[in-house]
């Protein structure tokens, strides 16, 4: 089957979060199981730099001005690039400028992405026609609306990586993006008087997936749905809402062949992990104590990630003689909050503000526990990296975190199913309880090793996810 992914990030060329990791792995896994997958992206400077050799597929003028569609390959994967410099030739973050202001023409930039996605199913490239168009997050949400407007020439799937980002734009832009007024309706693009690109993806796609089973259920409730619970409930009842867990790219995240770290290790030979811990302590200028329980966190600093809870609970780590390393960037008040922690507990807590791919690998390899205390988490990837690296995840029971980590309570330890630490409430008290449990387990080193060994044996291969997506694609093409 010919499948086109429509998205706005691709690891390692351009990444703001886990979406890029997914797009840099899923299509490759799909090719391995025989799906003819390609990817459509805006020609952002970082993407063009990574895919310099392209051929022109088509050149046209539409509502977005003059556009050239190019085709190239990245590690053998076919990529279409929308070359429209007036919209995409901007360095840095793809969604906002350096002062964090969303680009004023985002409605047009991402309308064009969806429009080209739909056109690739009807002959924009005369050599390759998508039979199924799979779009990701609000950036690509209009794809299914354009497909609907063309009479549904291809099947469509929309994946929710994060419902919190909705892409809402003023109604008056509708005439500028080539969609008819009749689609601006509660049964259509409209949400609270605006055009919602996210809702477009939900409403007009044949099937919607969320990136974990638990998140796919949570988003049918008001607490997680941002007012979209009605529509999501309907999709669930119509059997059109699925939860398919993300995977981990073994080529990038594997302690035995990670290109970012020097001291490799595996289950049967863990010396490298101890060396990474020492290097990490050295990097952050923390006491080189091998017996200090080292907590780590690598994250965007947003409310989603529960960093505020950690700021409250971090003193427990310091008081127990543990250590904490945080790498993150984002919201200024959270950056200040974690900086203040490091100033208050210089012997125990160290922080680096910024985005640093290489350092993130050393942190995950060198830590003992990786913290993911999220308020909500569609899937979460760092806990999966933690499992593979024997860095036990400490997570809140939500979304993909609940689906991937098993708490080290007595029963689970006995039955050898435990892989980390899980707490329930989004409160500092509940988080502190789990931190305490981590210290209790650390005191029993043999049990710790056994839980760690179980964690390292978990299988979150992308081939599993690719197979689930394939089953969905096949169902949609049969139902057609």
Q: Would you list which residues are annotated within the binding site?
A: 15
313 binds ligand GLC (CB under 6 A): no
Q: What is the DSSP string of 83-144?
A: E-HHHH---S-SSB-TTSPBPTTHHHHHHHHHHHHHHTTTTSSTT---SEEEEETGGGTHHH
Distance CA 86, CA 26 (A): 30
379 binds ligand GLC (CB under 6 A): yes
Distance CA 160, CA 158 (A): 7
393 binds ligand ADP (CB under 6 A): no
Contact 292, 325 (CB under 8 A): no
Part in contact with ligand GLC (CB under 6 A); list of ranges 3-11, 190-198, 334-342, 376-384? 376-384
Q: Which of 31, 173, 275, 300 binds ligand ADP (CB under 6 A)?
A: 300
Q: Which of residues 19-58 bind ligand GLC (CB under 6 A)?
A: 19, 22
211 binds, among ligand ADP, ligand GLC, none (CB under 5 to 8 A by kind): ligand GLC
Question: What sign does the dihedral 259-260-265-266 (CA atoms) show?
Answer: negative
Hunting for tokens 């929308």 — which residue is that?
A: 82
Kindly state the smallest distance separating residue 113's Cβ from ligand GLC, in Å: 18
Give the Å distances, CA to CA, from 240 to 169, 186, 204, 348, 433: 26, 19, 11, 49, 38
Q: Which of 108, 109, 161, 273 binds ligand GLC (CB under 6 A)?
A: 161
What are the tokens at 138?
């609000």
Closest residue by beta carbon to ligand ADP: 18
Hunting for tokens 């979060």 — which residue is that?
A: 17
Kindly state the smallest distance separating residue 293's Cβ from ligand ADP, in Å: 21
Distance CA 244, CA 462 (A): 11
299 binds ligand ADP (CB under 6 A): yes
How many residues sit in the footprint of ligand ADP (CB under 6 A)?
A: 17
355 binds ligand ADP (CB under 6 A): yes
For 34, list phi and psi in degrees, rounded to 5. Answer: 95, 10
Instruction: Return the number of the residue (421 or 442) whose C-beta is nearest ligand ADP.
Output: 421
357 binds ligand ADP (CB under 6 A): yes
Show Cβ contacts of residue 312 under 8 Å, excluding neighbours closer than 6 positions: 428, 431
Instruction: Return the number of the residue (223 or 411) whose C-beta is nearest ligand GLC.
Output: 223
465 binds ligand GLC (CB under 6 A): no
Distance CA 119, CA 270 (A): 52
What are the tokens at 13?
């060329």
Kindly state the smallest distance separating residue 355's Cβ from ligand ADP, in Å: 4
Kindly state the smallest distance separating residue 125's Cβ from ligand GLC, in Å: 27
Instruction: Return the number of the residue (21 or 190) whose C-beta is nearest ligand GLC.
Output: 21
Distance CA 64, CA 54 (A): 22
Q: Which of 130, 140, 212 is nearest to 398 (CA)?
A: 212
Instruction: Give the count of beta carbons closer than 10 Å to the beta carbon of residue 123.
Output: 12
Per-residue mark of binding to ligand ADP, 301-330 (x: CB under 6 A): --------------------------xxx-
176 binds ligand ADP (CB under 6 A): no
Instruction: Give the count of beta carbons closer than 10 Å to the beta carbon of residue 449.
Output: 12
Q: Which of 354, 393, 338, 360 is nearest to 276 (CA)?
A: 360
323 binds, among ligand GLC, ligand ADP, none (CB under 5 to 8 A by kind): none
162 binds ligand GLC (CB under 6 A): yes
Instruction: Give the count of beta carbons closer than 10 Å to the beta carbon of residue 144.
Output: 28
Cis peptide before 126 (omega within 30 of 0): no
Instruction: Return the number of the residue (350 or 381) whose C-beta is nearest ligand ADP.
Output: 381
Kindly state the smallest distance separating residue 443's Cβ from ligand GLC, in Å: 32
Kindly state the smallest distance separating residue 20's Cβ from ligand GLC, in Å: 8
Part in contact with ligand GLC (CB under 6 A); list of ranges 59-67, 346-354, 365-373, 375-383? 375-383
For 170, list phi and psi in degrees, rounded to 5. Answer: -65, 140
Kindly state the smallest distance separating residue 426's Cβ from ligand ADP, in Å: 16
Contact 310, 431 (CB under 8 A): yes
Part in contact with ligand ADP (CB under 6 A); list of ranges 292-300, 404-412, 444-452, 468-476? 292-300
Q: Which of 40, 381, 413, 431 binds ligand GLC (CB under 6 A)?
A: 381
Hunting for tokens 């081939």 — which residue is that?
A: 463
Site of interaction with ligand GLC (CB under 6 A): 17-19, 22, 161-162, 211, 246, 377-381, 400
Site of interaction with ligand ADP (CB under 6 A): 17-18, 21, 298-300, 327-329, 355-357, 360, 379-382
């Amino acid at each position: 089957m010919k499948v086109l992914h429509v998205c706005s990030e691709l690891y390692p060329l351009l990444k703001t979060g886990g979406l890029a990791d997914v797009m840099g792995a899923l299509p490759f896994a799909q090719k391995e199981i025989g799906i003819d997958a390609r990817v459509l992206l805006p020609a952002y400077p970082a993407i063009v730099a990574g895919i310099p050799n392209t051929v022109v597929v088509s050149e046209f003028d539409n509502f977005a001005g003059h556009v050239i569609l190019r085709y190239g390959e990245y590690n053998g994967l076919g990529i279409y690039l929308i070359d429209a410099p007036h919209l995409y030739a901007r360095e840095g973050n793809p969604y906002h400028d350096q002062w964090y202001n969303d680009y004023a023409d985002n409605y047009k930039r991402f309308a064009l992405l969806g429009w080209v996605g739909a056109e690739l199913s009807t002959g924009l490239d005369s050599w390759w026609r998508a039979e199924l168009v799979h779009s990701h997050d609000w950036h690509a949400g209009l794809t299914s609306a354009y497909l609907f407007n063309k009479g549904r020439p291809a099947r469509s799937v929309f994946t929710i990586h994060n419902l919190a980002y909705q892409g809402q734009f003023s109604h008056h832009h509708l005439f500028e993006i080539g969609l008819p007024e009749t689609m601006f309706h509660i049964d259509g693009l409209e949400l609270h008087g605006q055009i919602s690109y996210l809702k477009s993806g939900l409403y007009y796609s044949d099937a919607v997936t969320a990136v974990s089973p638990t998140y796919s259920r949570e988003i049918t409730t008001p607490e997680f749905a941002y007012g979209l619970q009605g529509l999501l409930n309907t999709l669930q009842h119509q059997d059109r809402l699925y939860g398919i867990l993300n995977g981990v790219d073994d080529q990038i995240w594997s302690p035995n062949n990670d290109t970012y770290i020097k001291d490799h290790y595996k289950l049967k030979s863990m010396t490298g992990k101890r060396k990474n811990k020492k290097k990490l302590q050295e990097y952050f200028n923390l006491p080189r104590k091998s017996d200090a329980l080292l907590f780590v966190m690598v994250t965007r600093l947003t409310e989603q990630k529960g960093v505020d809870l950690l700021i409250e609970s971090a003193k427990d780590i310091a008081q127990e003689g543990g250590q904490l390393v945080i790498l993150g960037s984002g919201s200024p008040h959270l950056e200040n909050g974690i900086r203040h922690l490091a100033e208050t507990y210089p012997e125990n807590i160290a922080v680096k503000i910024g985005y640093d791919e290489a350092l993130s690998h050393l942190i995950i390899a060198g830590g003992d526990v990786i913290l993911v205390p999220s308020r909500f988490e569609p899937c979460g990837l760092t806990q999966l990296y933690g499992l593979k690296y024997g860095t036990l995840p400490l997570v809140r029971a939500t979304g993909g975190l609940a689906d991937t980590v098993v708490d080290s309570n007595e029963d689970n330890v006995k039955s050898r199913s435990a892989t980390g630490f899980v707490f329930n409430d989004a409160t500092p008290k509940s988080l502190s309880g789990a931190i305490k449990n981590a210290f209790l387990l650390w005191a029993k080193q043999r049990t710790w090793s056994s839980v760690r060994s179980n964690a390292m044996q978990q299988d979150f291969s992308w081939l599993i996810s690719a197979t689930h997506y394939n089953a969905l694609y096949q169902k949609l093409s049969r139902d057609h």
